[in-house]
Amino acid sequence: MEYKRIVDNKMKSYGDIDLDKKIIRINKDKSKKNPLFKLPVNRYASKYPDILDSIVHEEQHRKYSKMTEKEVDKKTKELVQELSRRRKQQLYNKYKA
C-alpha cells in the first residue's frame, strides 16, 4: 500500500509520519511563518526552504523506519543539497494542498 501524503496546516510540528496508517503529513504554513533556516537550504528553494527539508525528512523516515532521528537529520541535510531540480519538484508535487 502506498503512503498517503497530506498537507495539514493545523498540526503543531513541521512534519509527521504514521508508519502504521501509512500517512505522511506536512505543515506548509508553519514552514512559511516560522522558518527553521534564515538562508535557503538550496538554490531552488529560496522562498520556503523548510518545506523541502520537512518533505525529505519525512520521506527518509518512510524509507528507513529504523533510523534514529539524528541519522535522519544528517541524511536529510545531505540529500537536500544533492537533489536535482526535477527531483525536488517531484517531491513538492506529492504534497499539493
Whole-angstrom distance, CA of residue 24 vs CA of residue 35: 20
pLDDT, average across residues 39-44: 52
Number of domains in the chain: 1
- Cell output for 1: 500500500
Q: The whole model's pTM is what?
A: 0.81
Whole-angstrom distance, CA of residue 40 vs CA of residue 96: 21
Nearest in space to 62 (alpha carbons), one of 90, 92, 21, 12: 21
Q: What is the pLDDT of residue 92?
A: 87
Domain that holds residue 44: 4-93
Per-residue pLDDT band for 81 (boundaries 50, 70, 90) equals confident
Whole-angstrom distance, CA of residue 24 vs CA of residue 7: 9
Whole-angstrom distance, CA of residue 3 vs CA of residue 19: 9
CB 3 within 8 Å of CB 58 = no
- Looking at the chain, the whole-number percentage of residues with pLDDT higher than 90 is 48
Q: Say if residue 26's pLDDT is above 80.
A: yes
Please state, in angstroms and as integers, the Cα–Cα distance from residue 32 to each residue in 50, 56, 84, following that order. Answer: 8, 16, 22
Q: Which residue would you say has higher pLDDT here, 77 or 42?
A: 77
Q: What is the pLDDT of residue 11?
A: 92
